[in-house]
Amino acid sequence: MSGKYDIGLMGLAVMGQNLVLNMVDHGYKVAVFNRTTSKVDEFMAMPECKFKGNSIVGTHSLKELVAQLKRPRQVMLMIQSKDAVPAPDIALYPKIAAIDAVIEELIPLLEPGDVIIDGGNTHFRDTERRTKYIEDKGLLFIGTGVSGGEEGARKGPSIMPGGTEKAWALVKPIFQAISAKVGPKNDIPCCEWVGARGAGHYVKMIHNGIEYGDMQLICEAYWLLKHTLGYSNEQIQQTFAEWNKGELDSYLIDITKDIFTVKDKATGQYLVDLILDTAGAKGTGKWMSQLALDLGAPSSLVTEAVYARCISAMKEERVRASKVLKGLGNKPAALPKDFVEQIRQALYASKICSYAQGYVQMQAAAKEYDWKLNFGEIAMLWRGGCIIRAVFLDRIKEAFDADANLENLLLNPYFQNIVESAQGAWRNVIKTAIDFEIPVPAFSTALSYYDSYRSAVLPANLLQAQRDYFGAHTYHRTDKPGEGPFHTDWINERQK
């Protein structure tokens, strides 16, 4: 017997709760469940849930949850990927991922054609594995990225679904209804099918990696304003507010300007100045860097952003080192009058390089894992609801509309012109940072990427000679294209 609820959701942490309320706001009826069943009761007792009447029903077991659902059933799991539980066979597997345990419990309760949805921050390889496993059981699987945090979940997130393509038609109405909307009429959903198996979670991971890079770049711009120009928090706020009116218009710039207006009630000091300078991370930036290495994709900016967080976490060690290690202290006497504008240009040029790297990695992944990704549409998925949402993404969509096979965003005329015109400012900002002894790893690696990418010849010829010398790894020759590989007995050649 079929139930009357449109979708079931398990996992009533903040994201899960807000997604439920968002769904109900859009006319859907939702059944909810949580392993800790007291959370179900607490959620149902919230005034906002009571106001929804019978649009939400609380359940106390997966079996009860499934029984409440219309066919074909849709069960969405909002479970942290790192969570683990004791496995059924403790001798074989001391622990398994909580989501795998739930899937094993769900499968016997469902029927062919029913859909299991993973809405957590899941590694794409797990989604690849789960898609095949669940399809083999006659069920459908969606692995979807959901970006936007608590506010996005409640008011409209960016949603990046992948998995079993047959499932898309089933989840599409509710996913697109609850997603953020953009466009002149505010009617274009920031949710579209990404691709097979783990494609959705891979694209969400790239989003998060780019987010790491964006945040680090903004932090470096802030530090330059503060420590070269001596800007006060009020001046920094005004600068970011002005930047948010132009090319850099984005969610992250917008919230950054707001941060510099908040004072601590107890001390009267600006709150940002009281926050310990040690940054945390949930791991998706690291995943992007690791997977970039696997693909040979040079995603250097997100990697530097991850390392910046790593070194920030070494607070006590940095304090000790600051008392011993000294710089030159030779700061320049004066800065250009337009130095604020130079920082803005350096920030925008570096941001372009960051996105260029992210798209190159997605292109490499699409080839490696046989995904048919629409790169222009992916930019539109990020246009609203998510953390990296920005006006700038429209330009990426235009770039791929003009050339679906675009190798690199830097080769698009718009981005090429922006970066080329920003070069003088970009280089001067990095030189100034060096003179002031201010670390700018993200700005610097972005420029190095640009300079490397536009170099027809790099010193890897010497590197290949070294590899051949100590390991007989061979090499190819510029004067004999199509021939080789070659090997030289470097020691005997040297002795002649």
Q: What is the pLDDT of residues 404-443, one digit of tens each?
A: 999 999 999 999 999 999 999 999 999 999 999 999 999 9
The pLDDT score that the predictor gives to residue 492 is 87
Q: Residue 89 pLDDT more than 50? A: no
More confident residue, 226 or 79: 226
255: amino acid identity, one letter: I
Confidence of residue 2 (pLDDT cuts 50, 70, 90): confident
Contact between 383 and 389 (Cβ < 8 Å): yes
150: amino acid identity, one letter: E
More confident residue, 265 or 332: 265
Q: What average pLDDT score do residues 373-379 get?
A: 96
Element of type H or E holding 457? none
45: amino acid identity, one letter: A
Contact between 302 and 290 (Cβ < 8 Å): no
Q: Residue 290 pLDDT more than 90? A: yes
Which residues share a beta bridge with 32?
Answer: 9, 58
CB contact burial 288-305 (16+ within 10 A = b; e otherwise): bbebbeebebbbbbbbbb
DSSP state at residue 250? B
* DSSP-assigned states of every residue in 323-337: TT--------S---T
Q: What average pLDDT score do residues 85-98 get?
A: 48
Q: Residue 258 pLDDT more than 90? A: yes
The pLDDT score that the predictor gives to residue 209 is 96
Confidence of residue 401 (pLDDT cuts 50, 70, 90): very high
Confidence of residue 333 (pLDDT cuts 50, 70, 90): confident
Q: Residue 90 pLDDT more than 80? A: no
User: How many angstroms separate the CA atoms of 360 and 79, rounded?
Assistant: 30
Domains of the chain: 7-197 (3.40.50.720), 204-453 (1.10.1040.10), 460-495 (1.20.5.320)
Q: What average pLDDT score do residues 249-256 get?
A: 97
Q: What is the pLDDT of residues 454-464, one digit of tens each?
A: 999 999 999 99
Residue 482 makes CB contacts below 8 A (sequence gap 6+) with none
The pLDDT score that the predictor gives to residue 88 is 44
Handedness of CA 309, 310, 316, 322 (dihedral sign): negative
User: How many angstroms separate the CA atoms of 428 and 425, rounded?
Assistant: 5
Q: Residue 196 pLDDT more than 80? A: yes
Question: Backbone phi, then psi, for 151, in 5-degree steps?
Answer: -65, -40
User: How many angstroms separate the CA atoms of 138 and 226, rounded?
Assistant: 59
Confidence of residue 50 (pLDDT cuts 50, 70, 90): confident
Confidence of residue 48 (pLDDT cuts 50, 70, 90): confident
The pLDDT score that the predictor gives to residue 331 is 86
Report strand pairing: 181-182 vs 188-189.
antiparallel
The pLDDT score that the predictor gives to residue 267 is 97
Q: What percent of the chain has pLDDT over 70?
A: 96
Least confidently predicted of 77-86, 113-122, 131-140, 379-388? 77-86
Which residues share a beta bridge with 85?
Answer: 96
* DSSP-assigned states of every residue in 37-101: HHHHHHHHTSHHHHHTGGGEEE-SSHHHHHHTBPSSPEEEE---TT-EEE-SSTTT-SEEEHHHH
The pLDDT score that the predictor gives to residue 83 is 53
Q: Residue 96 pLDDT more than 80? A: no
- pTM reported for the whole predicted model: 0.93
39: amino acid identity, one letter: K
The pLDDT score that the predictor gives to residue 139 is 98
More confident residue, 5 or 183: 5
Confidence of residue 1 (pLDDT cuts 50, 70, 90): low
Edge-to-edge order in the sheet of strand 56-58: 56-58, 30-33, 7-10, 74-77, 115-118, 140-147, 158-163, 195-196
Query: Catalytic residue positions?
Result: 204, 211
Contact between 57 and 66 (Cβ < 8 Å): no
DSSP state at residue 274? G
Confidence of residue 128 (pLDDT cuts 50, 70, 90): very high
DSSP state at residue 10? E
C-alpha distances in Å from residue 436, one per residue of 230, 424, 432: 12, 18, 6
User: How many angstroms separate the CA atoms of 142 and 160, rounded?
Assistant: 10
